[in-house]
Structure 1
Amino acid sequence: MSDNDDIPFNRDFPLKPGVVEEVRPGVRRVLCNNPSPFTFTGTVSYIVGRGNVAIIDPGPDNEAHASALLEAVRGETVTHILVTHTHRDHSPNTARLKAATGAPVYAEGPHRASRPYYESEKISTESGADRDFRPDVEVKDGDLIEGRSWALQAVATPGHTANHMAFAWPGQRLTFIGDHVMGWSTSIVAPPDGSMVDYMASLHRLTQRDEDLYFSGHGPEIADAQRYVRFLIRHREAREASILHRLAKGEADIPTLVRAIYIGIDPRLTGAAGYSVLAHLEDLVGRGIVATDGDPVIGGRYRLANGE
């Protein structure tokens, strides 16, 4: 979701649902048939290793996709199921795969918001959350998860969700990055589920790592990933500057800011754009740059704190 040309997006992703594609030795991917403005062509699940394998992000509640994954590993043993985060397009199918394989489930933890809800907020704003998910093993940043032919390191990347966890394969210099970084679009950061402060910190942290190939939860892989992450950081900084530029002209609500900043946006994405603007405003209010009456919420009005 973006109105800008400063990020080299790649929307060339011809993979068809249910097809097993080996993209690198030891890495296969299978696309779920759940396309939408938010999921692009659908959720991508990954199979790591050969013989004894891990499955990353089983996807939404979709029996056909579970069957495709199980068919892809026929004759092999699934020893681990890893989940990057608890949105409904990533984790609900976990129960099917665990029932079929008996493999333990690894993830950061159950779904939770990035901050407490304000009084005026309703829990329905997180309708995309999988609140039933519970991992067998809760992994922490830096934990090593090892199989027979692979070793993945947990990399805490909160921001898109509070419990977002990427899984790096340092030996291959690649990372299964979930929804934190996507090649086809920017990621949505929607409070209170997400946090722009956490998201930006996670982006900066990724630039300190060695992995330079990302496999994302949607769309194609991202080569030269460090350069791409720096593009994303600059994009978010430019988005913040655009918000401040508009507020310099006077107080505004979030729909007004979206209209000023997201020129030509797909109308189906205006709500999500509003939450991304809110994420920036939360950060700006916290830093004392922007002011609002009461809590920084989606229905609030915002102005520069210096009164200009």
Structure 2
Amino acid sequence: MALEFDTAFEPSYGRPVEAAPGVLRLTVENPSPFTFHGTNTYLVGGGALAVVDPGPDDKAHLAAILDAAGGRPISHIFVSHTHRDHSPLAARLKAQTGAQILAQGPHRAARPLRIGELNPLDASADTDFEPDVALADGDLVEGDGWALRAVHTPGHAANHTAFALEGTGILFSADHVMAWSTTIVAPPDGAMADYMASLDKLLARDDHLFLPGHGGPVISPKTFMRGLKAHRKMRERAIVERLSAGDNTIAEIVKSIYRDTDPRLHGAAGLSVLAHMEDLIGRNVVAAEGDPAIDSVYRLK
């Protein structure tokens, strides 16, 4: 199934945009190859509001959130995961509003670090984050005319959680499913096996609109997620083919299968290949000399 991305998006920095009935979107001006035009923050409700993903520690964005609230109280702050483009502003927003911060939990890796291993994404991790309320999978939080259900979706990050707006068919999918691009899955922050299982979990739901952490909405989520699964399986086949052809390092594989990718993303591509390698090793398809790492030597079993 072909995967078609939608990159038509107007960020409207500093101005709220109606993303759905009762949902406003604000986009932070933090564009990059990894964040597209910037991080999306959502304001939910008509009375006391919920804020989903306040974003990076940005004073202008904090002011924009408070302005968009228009004097309405903010009672809850939901955080999808603890990357620095999503969670750090929660503390300032709580200080301004008294709102409760809710998330799956503090930052953690998807697996323990191996001896001598460094987390290449440490700079992007908000290790200071601590929620007021730790949300279990399926927890329902009710507010002033809205109710959000936590849907744990590990893969991009170990503590990644989507939030379903009950009774609407809308899911705040954060970085797990985005219309503009595939999701970075980079060990030890994330895990490919978790990511694929989370896709299956969302495919089993009946949501009809995803509002993601970057870019515009995913308007046919089931079709798009089937495309994402097919894309990951295609990458997996390409990795196996390169191993069969004699490429036995991640650097060689990236050079071949990501030759048309922006070179600035080759580091992330290497981590994505590592995520696939860990998954393939777990399924007894591939072996590594020692622990799987970005510079390890790999072979088919």
TM-score category of the 2 structures, normalised to the smaller one: over 0.9
Tell me which residue corresponds to 2:293. 297
Aligned AA for 2:111? R
Tell me which residue corresponds to 1:117. 113
Aligned AA for 1:269? L
1:215 aligns with 2:214: no
d(CA) in 2 for partners of 1:80, 1:267: 40
**For 1:222, what is the secondary structure of its paired residue?**
coil
1:161 aligns with 2:157: yes
Tell me which residue corresponds to 2:51. 55
d(CA) in 2 for partners of 1:130, 1:241: 34
Aligned AA for 1:70? L
Segments of structure 2 that go 5 or more residues without pairing to the other structure are none
1:212-232 Cα distance to aligned partner (Å, 9 max, x none): 100000000000111111110
Alignment of 1:1-308 (within 5 A): 6-305=2-301
2:156–2:191 CA contact under 8 A, matched in 1: yes
1:170–1:211 CA contact under 8 A, matched in 2: no
Cα distance, 1:124 vs. partner?
Answer: 4.7
Cα distance, 1:66 vs. partner?
Answer: 0.7
Aligned AA for 1:293? E
Aligned AA for 1:47? L
Aligned AA for 2:16? V
Cα distance, 1:251 vs. partner?
Answer: 4.3
1:40-97 Cα distance to aligned partner (Å, 9 max, x none): 0000000000121100000011111011001110210111000000000000011110
d(CA) in 1 for partners of 2:244, 2:120: 33
Cα distance, 1:22 vs. partner?
Answer: 1.1
1:47–1:56 CA contact under 8 A, matched in 2: yes
Cα distance, 1:125 vs. partner?
Answer: 3.9
Cα distance, 1:117 vs. partner?
Answer: 0.4
2:119–2:188 CA contact under 8 A, matched in 1: no
1:90-111 Cα distance to aligned partner (Å, 9 max, x none): 0001111000000000000000
1:251–1:304 CA contact under 8 A, matched in 2: no
d(CA) in 2 for partners of 1:170, 1:276: 33
**For 2:126, what is the secondary structure of its paired residue?**
coil
d(CA) in 2 for partners of 1:148, 1:58: 19
Aligned AA for 1:17? Y
Aligned AA for 1:131? T
d(CA) in 1 for partners of 2:276, 2:119: 20
Runs of 4+ with deviation above 2 angstroms = 123-126
- State percent identity of aligned pairs: 53
Aligned AA for 2:84? R
1:132-172 Cα distance to aligned partner (Å, 9 max, x none): 00000000100001112111110000000000000011311
d(CA) in 2 for partners of 1:251, 1:261: 11
TM-score (norm 2): 0.98
CA 1:125 to 1:51, structure 2 compared with 1: closer, same or farther past 3 Å? closer
**For 2:124, what is the secondary structure of its paired residue?**
coil
Segments of structure 1 that go 5 or more residues without pairing to the other structure are none
1:181–1:229 CA contact under 8 A, matched in 2: yes
Aligned AA for 2:73? T
d(CA) in 2 for partners of 1:138, 1:19: 31
d(CA) in 1 for partners of 2:259, 2:145: 48
Cα distance, 1:122 vs. partner?
Answer: 1.3
